[in-house]
Amino acid sequence: MQADIFDVKLIIRIMKVILKENQIAELLDEIVEEITAATAADVSLALVGVRSRGEILAQRLQKLIQDKRSDKVELGTLDITLYRDDLNQMSYQQPEVRTTEIDFGIDDRLIVLVDDVLKTGRSVRAAMDALIDLGRPQAIRLAVLIDRGSRELPICADYVGKTLEVPLDKTVQVYLHEVDEKEEVVVE
């Protein structure tokens, strides 16, 4: 029993809550304001979430943007598993390939790619490669809840909820009700 108590105390010390549920909602509202301010009403807009938490954030953003625009804002989901550049390094497990669900044409459309955390830029590069295989968008913009730095590729987000400076040995984890039964951003 003593070891269990120690483990819980250690976990509590290691995890630092950066954002709580209401703060996440406020940041998403700010991102929506930025997207709508930067996008003319006559521009064909679509949001594409990167599986899995980017998908959830894109759904939330679509609902909020749809409340501000009279035209339909399309929503899609992108699986980037086969576009990752680290597949050959994942020998310890078989990657789970899920579906890409984009049931609209992306040609000549402004695509806002949505992800939860931007770190190295490699996932975003994979997502752009996957999108380009589907067509030729007018432009691709990037919206992320958290930008934690540490780029390995020259990629930056157009819409950022919060920028954090996090040591390389730490991870930023986004927890969302839809999949985690809690809503917060923590550094572990």
pLDDT digits (tens, 9 = 90+) for 56-97: 999 999 999 999 888 899 999 999 988 876 655 555 566 676
Structural domains of the chain in order of their starting residue, each with its CATH number: 16-187 (3.40.50.2020)
Weakest-pLDDT range from 26-30, 68-72, 96-100: 96-100
Nearest alpha carbon to residue 31 among 185, 130, 142, 137: 142
Residue 144's pLDDT is what?
Answer: 98
Q: Is the pLDDT of residue 127 over 70?
A: yes
Q: Which two tokens stand for residue 5?
A: 């108590």
| Residues in the chain, total | 188
Q: Say if residue 34's pLDDT is above 50.
A: yes
Q: What is the DSSP string of 134-150?
A: H---SEEEEEEEEE---
The DSSP secondary-structure symbol of 131 reads H
Instruction: Report the range of poorest mean pLDDT among 61-70, 77-86, 142-151, 170-179.
Output: 77-86
Sheet architecture: strand order including 184-187: 16-20, 184-187, 172-175
Kindly state the tokens that stand for 171. Answer: 């991870």
pLDDT band at 9 (very low <50, low <70, confident <90, very high): very low
More confident call, 88 vs 155 = 155
pLDDT score of 93: 63
Q: Is the pLDDT of residue 5 over 70?
A: no
pLDDT one-digit tens code per residue, 102-120: 999 999 999 999 999 999 9
Token pair of 59 as six digits: 């759904």
Please state, in angstroms and rounded to a whole number, the distance separating the CA atoms of residues 166 and 134: 34
> Where does the pLDDT of residue 170 fall: very low under 50, low under 70, confident under 90, or very high at 90 and above?
very high
**Tell me, what's the pLDDT at 8?**
47
Express as a percent the part of the chain with pLDDT over 90.
75
Backbone φ and ψ for 167, nearest 5 degrees, come out as: -55, 150
Read off the tokens for 47. Answer: 């949001």
Nearest to 109 by CA among 129, 134, 126: 134
CA distance linking residue 131 with residue 146, whole number of Å: 22
Helix 53-66 vs helix 21-38: angle between axes, to the nearest 10 degrees? Answer: 60
Question: For residues 164 and 160, what is the distance between their CA atoms, to the nearest angstrom?
Answer: 11
Average pLDDT of the residues in 158-181: 94
Which runs of E-coded beta strand occur in the chain? 16-20, 45-50, 74-78, 110-118, 139-147, 159-163, 172-175, 184-187
Q: How confident is the model at residue 30 (pLDDT cuts 50, 70, 90)?
A: very high
